[in-house]
Amino acid sequence: MELFETRTDATSGHARAMTFQTARGEVHTPMFMPVGTRASVKGILPETLTQLGSQVVLANTYHLFLKPGVDVVEENGGIQKFMNYPGPMLTDSGGFQIFSLADTVKLSDDGVTFASIYDGTKIHWTPEDNMAIQERIGADIAMQLDQCPPYPATREFVERAVDLSAKWARRCLAAHKRPDQALFGIVQGGMHLDLRLESIRRLQETSEESLVAGGRGFDGFGIGGYSVGETHDTMFETLGQVARALPQNKLRYLMGVGNPTTLVRAIHEGVDMFDCVLPTRTGRMGTAFSHEGRLNMRNARFTHDLGPLDPYCDCPVCTQYTRSYLRHLVKVDEMLGGILLSMHNTYFLIDLAAKAREAILADAYEEFYQEWMASPACKDY
């Protein structure tokens, strides 16, 4: 395959099994990406991520820019060498993190001004600055700088966010020069279907203009602005139509979503890629994903349970440790408890996406979907 080529391996209903060529090899979707915000997936060694089946790991431009600084990452040979992860990586632009600090952020067509969370230093980023930073960090996939509106927000606010994100997308694409790094545009529009379709129209227009001028256009598309406080049902009122309005030959990445049932439902609607801090965050809190639903490992019912954490899981945790032992670790606040549960939860989502791919390749995703939706696990997510 050519660099950044996207191949459709199979479809099953709206669900898709895709292959995308990065500079560090092929990745196969559907796919869940562990989040290593500061060049570390909390509680999991980089080499362990590979053992768990991770294909792509996400890092965050905003946080890496602040600490340790782009110079440090660059002098280490880029993000992969810095954290000793051999596979492909993706950097988010940091837009979501910046706009979560709404009280300290100033926006204009030119860019965004924000204060460092560490010392209050004022920082101004243009879309061009953001592209230069992501190119220096060196991930295989970069994301455009965008404005992610909160939920709820007025329609007027969301309209402005769509317009600004579209203008910045054009500038990001023009500024992005690194030939071994893909660039994804980002769809915004809140819960307004018409605004999301307008966002897609403008992204495609920008991409097509780039192609006419001899560029690559966008190599894929993120779907941002979901999972920001709305209910799952509210998200799914528009998500399917949004995903399927994107080009058939480009990856569709639902940003910030890692709930198992949401992942299964979104794949059913045509989404390819996911990321979320949920598996490690819940693991550190003593909660495990399972085919029974969420398991609170502090629960006394696990004290004498000599069975595996999830009998349907073949991760290193489920094949080597009992529920009894894991409960003990969590109850006495041993660090190892959170580490093992984070490993299991991360594997659970990676494996769920891989099994979804197998079902799509067999043209049996509808059966896979219905089985999950009827399972005890579905009601607990």
- Catalytic positions, written as ranges: 92, 275
Residue count of the chain, please give it. Answer: 381
Sign of the Cα pseudo-torsion (370, 371, 372, 373, in order): positive
Query: Which stretches does DSSP call E strand in the chain?
Result: 6-12, 15-22, 25-29, 31-34, 57-60, 89-92, 106-107, 112-115, 122-125, 141-143, 182-187, 220-223, 251-254, 273-276, 287-288, 295-296
d(CA 243, CA 29): 15
Residue 199 contacts residue 149 (beta carbons within 8 Å): no
**Strand 112-115, strand 106-107: pairing:** antiparallel
Burial of 94: CB neighbours in 10 Å, binned 0-12, 13-18, 19+: buried
